[in-house]
Structures are given as structure tokens and as C-alpha cells.
Structure 1
Amino acid sequence: MSCAACPSLRPFVFSSVAVLCFIGIFLMYRSDIQYGNFGIYIGQGNPFCPAFLCAEEAQTKDTHPTNSTELHNNQSNPTNSTELHNNQSNQEDPGTITSLTPPTIQSSTITSPTQKIQAAAVDAEPDTIVLIWMYPFGFAFPLSCTVFNISRCQLTDDKTLYNKAHGVLFHHRDINRQLVANIPKMPRLPFQKWVWFNMESPANSHPISELNQAYNLTCNYRLDSDIPVPYGYMEPLTSEDESFKLPAKDKLVCWIVSNWNARFRRVEFYNELKKHVEIHTYGSAFGKQVNNEDYSKIISTCKFYLSFENSIYTDYITEKLFRPMRLGTVPIALGPSRQMYEEHVPRDSFIHFQDFSTAKELAERLLYLDQKNTEYMRFFNWTSKFKVKDSDFGREHACQTCKYLQNHKEYQAVKDLNSWFWG
């Protein structure tokens, strides 16, 4: 049998087969195609987000990350330096907890009629309820989120609202000693998330094995926590902000410290640095108590400040960096890597102790900058565009928790808290 038209049909047939094959392959593998999500760089409505303004990126993820300080201890003035007031609880042994079964961790599946009624009642609530199970170190804070432009949040310390709370915030340092007395006796509800809140470094807090898998979310200074809240951050200037004016300087290098330990890396580096440059020292470690007013005056009159952390861990960057910057001083950072600091502030706004191979080289650079005002002033280029803000300890963590809960209704769980944070 012959077909005169067949040769002319062959290209059409081959093309059709090729198209069908492509469609079949696309349908088989399209679930693996990943599209860029530029929304994670917007943050909280900011039109742009440099690396050091992207601390909230982790909050936009729909799944838990791969775990997943010295604290303010004068709540009447949340901007007080932690070096000015020793928190005796920081030195306490958390003790040994020998018998405790964490509350039952409920499945995200709601099946019984009672559970359905409870879930429906929660959904009908006009606001997201966050229960502050204990105030950090006993210091209360205002139960309002309007200052952060976060709406429809009901912060409460009323434990009778436990059955309605969408989230329960637990401050880690306040459950170290009396675990049985400090956690809810009731099971966690299916719609509810327990949030682990801790701003201490691993060296200054202790794991609790009985609660290793009890939490749904983490709220911490680490940028890979579910709800990251660093000790400070930078914001774009507004028309209402005053122009930066460099305070008068009469000292080259200053340091205020209370927590002294000869084995700390910062103490070792200080002992070497002081051999090559004069350092004006204050704080109880040097027998010179400093109050809040003196703290600001001292730092603002120094060209450089030793922003030395008491321990070196991932993202552990405290107010020792942010407050000197806000007061018009250049911080000399000793803590995690320079790269981690640059996630928070511009790279040319500070000096990292590892920028120099020896303390002597650093001292020589400081002495040089003391004579070169034009070069020194370059450390303040950022002030033409940004300002430094201190985080509001406790209150900001509760409000950011509320915002996270509003945007994340899915079930989440911290599978191994101790390995993620202390591992």
C-alpha cells in the first residue's frame, strides 16, 4: 500500500511526537522546579534590604531551619548595658532535674469533636493571643505591639487564657531551676505553639534534656532561629531623624567590663593590646562602677570602644556592638566572624579583631587613625543613610512571636533543640 502524502506528513508527525515528549517530561519533573522568592528580601515592608538589614529573612520560611548574653537585667531601663549590672542569676547552677515528663506533644491533626470546637473558637478570636508564661527575670514589659506596627496581637500574662493562646512564650533562663513548677501542667493544644525564648549564649545558659523536643518554635538572637530578634539592628533614616554629629573625643580606646575571667578570649586579647596602646577601663572589673548616664558619656567621648563579647558563638552579637555605634563611637569587635557582623552592620562601620594578625598591629592602626581624621570619619559613612536601634528585650520578642504566628498557621516542631543551640 502506497501513500503519496506520507513524505509530507513525516515532519509534522516527528514534531508532534517531540512536543508530546517534552510535555510528558515537564509534567513528571515540574514539582522540582524552584522559582525565586524575592519577597524574602523585603523584610517588614522595607523597599530594599542590604545584607545587614535582612535579619528577618528566616521568618518567611514555611519550614523549620535545620535545627531548628548577657541579658538586660534592669527592665525599667531596657537600654542599660549588661556590663553595668551583674545579674546574679547568671552565675547560678541550674541544678539537676531527675524526673519530669514533658507535656504531651499533640498531633497537628484535629479529629475529636472537642478539638474541632476548640480550634473553631481559636479561629474566631479577633486577635492572635500570645501568653507570656513568665516575664524574663521577672521584669514585666508593656503588653502592646503598636510601637512595632504589629496589629491584632493580644499579649497577656493571664494563665487562665492558656486554652485560647495561639502561642506560649517561655523564657529559658526562668525554667532552669524549677522546671516542674514553671511549665504548664496541661497538655499543649493542637492549634497552639510553644516558643523557646533565650538571649544568652550557650556558655551562659544550660540545656534541659527533658524539654529538648517540647517546643514548636525558637526565638533567639541567631538568624537561623524561627523568630530571630538580634540585640540591635539598623533602620533607614526618616525625615524626622536628626543629622549625625560626632561627639567630642578626648580618649582613644575605652572598655567597660564587669564579667572578668582570665580565661576569656577577650581578657587575653585585652592584656596583649594594652601593651601597645593606652586603654581607659571602667566597670566593676576595674573597681570603677559606672551608672547609665556615665556609660553614655564615657563611650561617646572615646574614638574606639572594645566591643568584646564574653563568649564566641554563632550570631552572638550583643549591645556591646550596637550601643557604641549609636553613641558615635567605632566598635572594635571580638566575637564571631567578621562575616556574621556584616549581616548586621556595614562592613566599614567597625573594626574586627581578626583584621590584624597581632594585637600590636591593631594598636598601630588605632594610633595611625588617631592622627588621620579623614580616614577615621569614614567609619561613620553609614550615618547618612541609617540609624541604630536597640531591640526591646522581652516585648519585641513577644510581638515578633505574634507576627510570626499570624503568618504561619502550619504545624512546626523543634526536633532537637539541644543539638541546634548547644551542639
Structure 2
Amino acid sequence: MEKRIHSKKTFTLPYRHYLFHFKWPLVGFAFVLSLLIFVQIKLTSIFIPYIIEEQHLEHFNKNIIYPIVLLNNDNNTHRLNMNYYFLKKDELKIMDDIYAIKKKQKVVLPSIKNRHKPNSYLILESTTVFGRPRFCSYTNEQIFGRACPYRNCKYTCDRTRDSDAHVLLMHKRDLNYKLLNSIKRNSEQIWLLWHDESNENSPEINRYKFNWTITYRISAEASIGAYGIIILKETPWSAQQFDSWIDEQFIKRHNQAVWFVSNCQPKKRLKKFRSLREFYSIAAFGKCVSSNESFSLNAQVQSNSKCQRDSSCEQNYLKNSKFYLAFESQSCTDYITEKFWRTLALGAIPIVSGPERENFIRVAPLHSFIHVDDYTSDEELAQTLNLIATNRSIYEKYHHWRRYYDVHHEAKDLDPFRFCELCYRLNTNTQRIWYENINDWFLDKC
């Protein structure tokens, strides 16, 4: 039995004693997994009511996670939509998992034969979340959501149940390494690491061999709704409702972009802002920009010191400008944060940089955003922004998706998606997983 030896404590790797029984080639593993997910997707498509418009039909087999537009939208359909998210994500993460296995970041093994599956699952909040209890006062319905297709997951904060819980949920910022060292680990128990930040180097966490992660990375065991999510409207807008909305927004919103920035370290995005503002009006706020660098067409303009991020002032700018600079601080794969989702939710068009374009296409409709990498110069980008802002038919093209979709970007709306996915994973996963080098896995795509 292989063991990893450390100065203070020896940890037996979970399931390692089964490793010599399973020498599956990676190609074979990928083929079998792809086949299973293909069958699941096809079976799901039989039972999902089909599409309103041809443009949505072509999206069904593309690399997108958000659900297709359906003919009816009752609660049962919502459940099928959640299954669609989960199945589609499983399809998209195959290559990422193979890559992580090759890089020895992650170990994925087949299940043990005749292994007993419990009828219900208990998830224990084993640490605080940013120093406070997170879900201790919530009901199971609030945590997992009314539309979750699985109803057999329970959540507890009773730490006397750490031995019988199926999952120990630990928030990375709140890890107590002394406590971790004292836990007598059960190889059947899943250690789940929750971490939504990017590009943090923490090699010390490798020794604990976490089984699963809940984070923004699509290849995590739970990732849907990390910072935001596209969902189907309960009732799609009629053509008349949509035209009326476009007319109102096109007239009231200023031909300008807005930017609120507080982290001055990512110099690349500051450079991009200063270059773009030479060709296009940008109202910028925060300690990273001086007042003479900001130009606003809003008659109600406030000084830099008064208009703060997450304030009513910021919301006012977002609701009255046509664009927002949703520049990410990092270029990590799948790292698309609340600034992008909040912009969509408040009716503006996000101008994005950081992760590659394909990362955004996976989670948001085409023509819902503008990626700076699509333009050869900032002058060309500025010309495009001006064209969109002054031509109603082109402006409408960037909002057409709003007829059918809404955006969630607040934690109270996102948490049920995240924890429903966790419950789905508990009910359907048959593989044995642990992270051999979880720190490298987090840093590798940054």
C-alpha cells in the first residue's frame, strides 16, 4: 500500500490500495466516458420539449452550458433544464479531466464493484465561510432549490457528525490545518474544497488529497453558477414586449462605457482602458484612475470619491450606459466573475478581457458581450462600440437573447444551482476521485 509521508503526519491516499487493479489507458477511459455521456444527452433530448426558433436548435450540440429555449416552462421542465446543465457540463469537461490526469493533478478511477450507494447524503459544513457560518440557518429547500431533480441531500452544521457525513465541505480561506491533521479520515468520505478565487499559490493543501472541488472551473465537480448563470425566462417576451424594451433602452442609455475598478495590480487592463479612452467615452471610477481620466456623458456625474463600486451610483451608471468594461483581473480559464454577470443583469453590454472568448461563449449567448481580442486595435473596437450605440438594429442584435433568458448573479439565487449540482454528483458519480496536486490544478490554467 503506497503512502505519502510528511514530517508531522502520514496520510493514506484514499482508494490507493485499489490502484493496481485498474490500469485503464486514458484513451479507453475517454471513449467509455464519452459514450456514456453521449447516450445520456440523446436520451435527455427525447424527453425535453423542443425548440421555439431554429437559431436555438443549432445551439443544442454546441459547446454551451446554458439551456436551450423550450416550448413550455413549468416546474418539471425546469428540472429537465437543470439536468441539461449537468449533462452538458459532463460532456464538456471530459478533455479537461484527461488533461488533469495526464499532468498528475487528478486521479480518476472506476468504481468498486457492488459498492453500496446510500439512499440519502449528508453534507457537513466543516469550516466557516469567510469567518461565518454559511448555511446553518437555511432549510434544505433553500440550499438545494425547489427545482433540483434530487431531493435526498441534507445539509448540517453539526460537527459532531463529522464521522457519518458523506461530504465534509471546507472553505479554503477558512481551513484550519491543525484541525485537518487531527481528523481520522474515512476513505468513503468525500473531502470537498470550496474556492472561488483565482491564481492563489497554496502548495500546502496538496497533502490533504481533497476528493472534489466546488469552484469556478468547469472541470470542478461542482461549478455551475459560481458567479452567475443564464436561465430561461418563465415566460418569453413577445416580439412587441422586446421591441418596446429596446426602444426605451436605446433612447435612455448614453453612448459610453462605464468602469469601476479597485484593484490596481493588473496593469494590462489599466493600459487597455487608457488606450481605449483615446477613442471612446469612458466614465471610470476608483482609486486606480484619476478624475481627469474619466469622461461621462451623464448629466448627474458624481466625483470619483463619491461614486463607489456596489453603490446605487454604480447601478445608476450601469442602467444608463450602453457598455461596461468587465475586465477580469486574471486570465484564468473559466474565471468570469460578478462584474460580467451584473452588467448583463442591469441591461448593459459587457466589454470583456481576461479569459479567452470561448470561455464566455460556453456560459453566455452569442452577441451578449464584446471581447477585446476580436479587434486588431482599440480604434477599431471604439468604432464598433459607436456603431452599436447609434444603430438601433445592430444594438438590438446584442440584446436579442433577452427575449428568452434572464441572468442570476446574486448568491441567494446561485447557491441552489451549485448545491443541486453537488447533490446530482453524489447521486450519479460512480468514479473514485482525488486531487494529487490540487494547487497545480488551480494554477495551471492561469
Structure 1 residue 127 corresponds to structure 2 residue 124:
no
CA contact 2:205–2:438 (8 Å) conserved in 1: no
Structure 2 SS opposite 1:138? coil
Q: 1:275 to 1:267 in 2, by over 3 A?
A: same
2:442 maps to 421
Q: Mapping of 1:94-243 within 5 angstroms?
A: 123=118, 127-139=120-132, 140-141=134-135, 142-144=138-140, 145-149=144-148, 150-175=150-175, 178-181=176-179, 183=180, 185-202=182-199, 205-212=200-207, 214-229=209-224, 230-239=226-235
Q: 2:231 is aligned with what amino acid?
A: E
Q: 1:63 to 1:266 in 2, by over 3 A?
A: closer
Q: 1:185 to 1:291 in 2, by over 3 A?
A: same
2:429 maps to 408
Shift of 1:165: 0.7
* Larger Rg over CA atoms: 1
2:24 maps to none
Distance in 1 (CA, whole Å) between partners of 2:370 and 2:146 is: 32
User: In structure 2, which of residues 381, 388, 393 is the aligned counterpart of residue 369 of structure 1?
Assistant: 388
> Residues 41-99 of structure 1: CA distance to partner in whole angstroms, max 9, x if unpaired?
759x965745332563344789992326xxxxxxxxxxxxxxxxxxxxxxxxxxxxxxx
Shift of 1:39: 1.8
Alpha-carbon RMSD: 3.4
CA contact 1:127–1:153 (8 Å) conserved in 2: yes
2:351 maps to 332
Is the deviation greater in 205-214 or in 190-199?
205-214
Q: 1:52 is aligned with what amino acid?
A: I
Give % identity: 24
Structure 2 SS opposite 1:169? strand
Distance in 1 (CA, whole Å) between partners of 2:390 and 2:237 is: 31
Q: Mapping of 1:252-401 within 5 angstroms?
A: 252-261=256-265, 263-285=266-288, 286-287=304-305, 288-390=307-409, 392=411, 396-401=417-422
Q: 2:125 is aligned with what amino acid?
A: I
Q: 1:295 to 1:127 in 2, by over 3 A?
A: farther
Q: 1:39 is aligned with what amino acid?
A: Q
Q: 2:186 is aligned with what amino acid?
A: L
2:80 maps to none
Is the deviation greater in 33-42 or in 231-240?
33-42
Q: 1:35 to 1:367 in 2, by over 3 A?
A: closer
CA contact 2:201–2:439 (8 Å) conserved in 1: no
Distance in 1 (CA, whole Å) between partners of 2:282 and 2:372 is: 15
Q: 1:387 to 1:38 in 2, by over 3 A?
A: farther
Distance in 1 (CA, whole Å) between partners of 2:406 and 2:188 is: 39
TM-score normalised by structure 1 residue count: 0.70
Q: 1:53 is aligned with what amino acid?
A: I
Structure 1 SS opposite 2:399? helix
CA contact 2:255–2:386 (8 Å) conserved in 1: no
TM-score normalised by structure 2 residue count: 0.67
Aligned residues between the structures = 338
Q: 1:238 is aligned with what amino acid?
A: E
Q: 1:146 is aligned with what amino acid?
A: G
Q: 2:40 is aligned with what amino acid?
A: G
Structure 2, gaps ≥5 residues long: 1-27, 51-59, 67-84, 102-110, 289-303
Structure 1 SS opposite 2:400? helix
Structure 2 SS opposite 1:173? helix
Structure 2 SS opposite 1:412? strand
Structure 1, gaps ≥5 residues long: 1-28, 69-107, 111-118
